[in-house]
Amino acid sequence: MISPTLAVAQNVPLAPLTTLRVGGLATYYAIVSNHNEVAKAVRFAKQNALPFCVLGGGSNMLVSDDGYSGLVIHVQSQGYVVQELSTTVREITVQAGEMLDSFIGQTVKEGWWGLENLSHIPGTVGATPVQNVGAYGVEVADVISTVQVYDTVTEKEIVLSASECYFGYRDSIFKSEVGRSYIILSVTFRLSTEACPRVDYADVQKIISSHDAPTQSMIREAIISIRSNKFPDWNQIGTAGSFFKNPIVPEAVALALQKKYPELPIYVAQSGYMKVVLGYILDKICHLKGVQVGHVGLYHAQALVLVAEFGATATEVKVFADGVKEKVFAHTNILIEREVTEI
């Protein structure tokens, strides 16, 4: 069943390719480094009646202990192209396999403002539109111009505008039935050479409060420092970063919960709805920060982060996560959702 035009390996361990470091084997596995190879990989899967899924940096993926009985397409395309739209606006088209933090470091070096608040987030550029990755007051939806995808149904490349991506809180078209047939090839960001610091978050303010006009480098360094203190080093311990989404609930529900727990942080999400800070619920209401069962627990410095020690299994992760979900519901009557993608 090996493709004559594409390097396809068999029975490849997936745990080392994800930051959680759990899970079984991929029955078939192919590294793709350009758009043509993506098409070949999809064709190979179709010709052999195989399901297929896409792997980037592996930072938001939970692989079953049984592995994946199909083709894992590992996108490792590299490079970016810059287009000057005006004296201050740049559109940068970035290949999906570029590591996000490395690219953000380059934007800071070049003086392209817009992505610095997302510094030190693991994973690839291609994964960012799927989750509408966000941190410290910025989401990629704020700066994405277009997303180029390969439609695995029609086997054609198409370009989606930001509005066609239907971005929401940790959500996008790529999580819908239609969007799951798309493989992201590249992302085009619209960035500015004019300073536009976003430093509203208290943690960031604490570090740069003495600077009236913080530079991009200052903001990036501040956020790297904050994230280094709050999040474990994914090179040292298994983690997927924030494992759960902050719940978006009707305003009345959020206000009733805040009345019961006056210090609970809540924020306006959209008309009639509010975002509830789950980290506070896990820590101060459910008292789960730092709690560990077997090889799996919630990180001692940030309750929203699930960690998996060496020897953990995907089953342990799922059982522990389900237990967290049950405890949150028991205390708040809110059903929380996972951020991670399961295969």
* Residue-wise pLDDT tens digits, 196-235: 888 877 777 777 766 678 899 999 999 999 888 888 888 8
Instruction: Please identify which of the residues 77, 242, 316, 338 carries the catalytic annotation.
Output: 242
Residue 175 pLDDT more than 70? yes
- Position 230 scores a pLDDT of 84
Is 227 catalytic? The answer is: no
Average pLDDT over residues 176-185: 94
> What pLDDT sits at residue 141?
96
The whole-number pLDDT of residue 210 equals 64
At the topology level of CATH, where does 233-342 sit? 3.90.78
At residue 308, the pLDDT reads 94
Of these residues, 21, 90, 170, 227, which one is catalytic?
A: 170
Instruction: Name the residue type at position 46.
Output: K
Task: For 323, list phi and psi in degrees, rounded to 5.
Answer: -65, -40
Give pLDDT tens digits for 87-127: 999 999 999 999 999 999 999 999 999 999 999 998 999 99
**339 noted as active-site residue:** yes
Out of 1.25.40.10, 3.40.50.720, 3.30.43.10, 3.20.20.140, select the CATH number for domain 9-75.
3.30.43.10
Q: Give the C-alpha distances (Å, rounded to integers) separating 290 from 87, 286, 295.
A: 49, 11, 12
Domain ranges (residues) in the chain: 9-75, 80-229, 233-342
One fold for 9-75 and 233-342: no
Q: Which pTM value belongs to this model?
A: 0.89
Query: Could you tell me the fold of the domain covering 80-229?
Result: 3.30.465
170 catalytic per annotation: yes
Query: What mean pLDDT, rounded, does the chain reach?
Result: 92
Query: What is the structure's pLDDT at 3?
Result: 57
